[in-house]
Amino acid sequence: MLIHDAVYGSHHLHEPVLIEVLHSAALQRIQGVHVSGASFLVREKRDVSRYEHSVGVTLLIRILGGSVQEQVAGLLHDVAHTAFSHVVDFALDNRTEDFHEQHFMHVIESSSIPAILQQHDLSSDDILPLERWPLLEQPMPDLCADRIDYTLRDLLRIGFIDDISVQAFLAQLQNYGGKIVCRSLDAALWFTEYYARLVLELFLHPRELFANQQLAAALRLALSNGGVRKEDLFLQDAELFARLQALHHPDIDRYLQYLQPALEVIEDTTGNGEKFSLKARHLDPLVLQEDARVVRCSALDSRVDRVQAIMRQKTTNGICLRVVDPICEDNI
């Protein structure tokens, strides 16, 4: 199977288990689930799918020498994401943003994945838990395939970085004892600064924050009045959005009418608008030294601390938002 990927280029997959997992209904569902929640409804090019991301994570693990089992784990790591991804966490006031993780085993066990694995002399125990795979997942502030892929993919899609920069960065990554490290300080700094840009200019963009919260409010109301059931959350984005529209509930319609490209939202620096915040994120990659030691980027360059301080302030304190587009206001 030949895969053409926007970040990693063309790769042949020869392993039948990878190909069959890719073609499974569980993986195909997340082709219709967007990584960025409701953002794609209000902002051009915010349309990366969980499927694209999962394939990318697997390719990066493959490039770095990860086993077939870890590549399977890469394909499966987001399979339990609900429609609109973390918007459901906001709707349920789940501040740890791990609703999909809570339902991961149920989604796997209810799918064809265990049977596919068994056909290839594997079992779920050979793949799970996902935390056993160090290239796939690492706690903050380390690099991991998951964190690297969504950062590069989102920034490349929206045009904040170019392919030349992406390839130069990827060439500086190394699998060092099962952990992903940078072979140069410049590469670590580049990724740290662009990760901050991802958080500050995309995740915390006023329009995207507001859109996600309006959709979350619509879902919260639909769940409370029975218009949407918990199992409906595992539909694709378009299907769940259509369910919400079909309810013809005036308050839900009011929330949904904001979700259009004409939406304009700004940060209200007076502090009088509605305040929104996100889970805190911080990054401090490991850098491989000539003497084979690995050292935190922050120990080599103080700019990392300054970048992290800005992100902590924004994510912890939140920002106040104000809708300024009169078109949206007139439609509601």
The pLDDT value given to residue 290: 94
Residue % of the chain over a pLDDT of 70: 98
Alpha helices in the chain (DSSP H): 16-23, 25-29, 39-42, 50-63, 68-76, 87-91, 99-102, 104-109, 113-119, 124-127, 145-158, 163-170, 185-197, 206-224, 237-246, 250-256, 297-300, 303-317, 326-331
Give per-residue pLDDT as tens, 105-162: 999 999 999 999 999 999 999 999 999 999 999 999 999 999 999 999 999 999 999 9
Task: Give me the amino acid identity at 29.
Answer: R
In angstroms, rounded to a whole number, what is the distance separating the alpha carbons of residues 304 and 299? 9
Could you tell me what percent of the chain has a pLDDT over 90? 84
CA 312 to chain centre: 19
Residue 330: predicted pLDDT? 47
pLDDT in tens, 13-39: 999 999 999 999 999 999 999 999 999
Q: Where are the domains of the chain?
A: 2-206+279-317
What class is the 2-206+279-317 domain? mainly alpha
**pLDDT for 326:** 54
Average pLDDT over residues 277-281: 78
Dihedral angle sign, alpha carbons of residues 34, 36, 40, 46? negative
In whole angstroms, what separates CA 159 from the centre of its chain?
A: 17
φ, ψ dihedrals at 238, nearest 5°? -60, -35
User: What is this structure's pTM?
Assistant: 0.94
